[in-house]
Chains A and B, each alone.
Chain A
Amino acid sequence: MKLIGNYVDWIDDKWIDYVINNDGRPMPDKSDLENATETQEERDNPLSMHWTTGRPLIFPTLCYQYDIKNTDFIIDAPWPMATHSEWWINKFMPFMLGPMHQDGSRTNEPNVKYYRYWMPLQDYEQGHIFIYEHTLITDYKKGDLYLYDDPDAQHCAGNSGWTPRLSLNITAWECI
């Protein structure tokens, strides 16, 4: 994870109020689960599978997700980025834990370069889990912007603390 800079002044606290005070989309999405079918690749390597599909039926709700479809705000990143992007905010309530996974499916597309960004919307608190590869990310500040060294890196998030954990996630991509 490479720290790009801090954008705390760019964060609109209305986003945080909205996320704290509104239900997000419970993940994994039930419709995804109902329609999920495993591919051979997924059977061979469960960690390659996007965590909204299939196997995480054994999980309860992993987190609540917010994006352009279920919020009343639009996030337009001010930092230089690839031409296409999508964003979502994850809210992990205490005791929620998502599995280790890769965001990989899209990055398999040829001639497309992907960038994965992660920005905490709070200062680090003990119990707030973001594990990238084999490292717990700690000591961050609200608004710190990180870029994955490897967009396919395994990672997971959860909350063993007592306050909601909020983060902004962005995937950006461009044809090469």
Chain B
Amino acid sequence: MKYLGNYCDWINDEWIDIINSQPGKRVPQEQDIDKNDYIFDVNNSFNHVYYEQYDSEYSDNIKLTPSWPMYSNFEWWIVKQTTGMLIPMHQDEFESGRIHKRYWMPFQDYTPGHIFLYEDKLITDYKKGDLFEFDDNLAVHYSGNASYSTRIVLQISAWEYV
């Protein structure tokens, strides 16, 4: 993870109020789950939520225009994880014919139990608004919340066509 700078002043606290007060889109959606998936073996029902998502389609009240230099095409989504939520480890998938950059920005200072694991490293000691870029777009990563406070992080995928 490459640290690019702090953009705390760019964050609109109204976004955080909206995220904290309104439910996001549950991920995964039930229709996206393979009914033969191990998740069903474990839980016997569809009851595991990786995170709640807020994005440009789902959240009309959050208008987000990055202020840092970036590829001209991008999509963003905000991840909210309440206590106990856990995303399985994964690699992001990218469309061919593009070059991508992946960004990660916490909307809070680091809290013990707020888990973001990039490769095998726990990311800690960050501040609200710190902007990181993935060194490797295909890095294995996952996140979770083992604390008693809600975890909120902005994700951006930016690209140029080649």
Contacts and interface: CB of A to CB of B under 8 A. Distances in A.
A98 B87 contact: no
Nearest to A62: B84
Interface stretch (A1-9, A80-88, A156-164): A156-164
Q: Looking at chain B's contact residues, is the secondary structure mostly helix, strand, loop, or mixed?
A: loop
Interface in B105-162: 112-113, 115, 117, 120-122, 124-125, 140, 142, 144-148
Contact of A95 (B88, B146, B147): B88
Contacts of B88: 94-95, 127, 160-162
A58 B122 contact: no
Contacts of B25: none
A58 B113 contact: no
Contacts of B42: 93-96
Given A134-B124, A136-B117, A97 B147 contact: no
Given A134-B112, A134-B122, A136-B122, A60 B47 contact: yes
B39 A94 contact: yes
A158 B148 contact: no
A95 B45 CA distance: 13
A98 B140 CA distance: 21
Given A126-B120, A134-B112, A136-B117, A97 B142 contact: no
Interface of B: 38-39, 42-43, 47-48, 82-89, 112-113, 115, 117, 120-122, 124-125, 140, 142, 144-148
16 contacts: A46-B148, A58-B84, A94-B39, A94-B88, A95-B43, A97-B146, A98-B146, A99-B84, A100-B112, A129-B115, A131-B122, A131-B146, A134-B124, A160-B87, A160-B88, A160-B117
Given A47-B112, A94-B88, 4 more contacts: A94-B42, A97-B84, A129-B144, A160-B87
Please name the 7 residue pairs, one residue from A and one from B, whose CB atoms are nearest each other, closest first.
A100-B113, A127-B89, A156-B146, A136-B122, A160-B142, A138-B120, A59-B84
Interface of A: 46-47, 55, 58-60, 93-100, 126-127, 129, 131, 133-136, 138-139, 154, 156, 158, 160-162
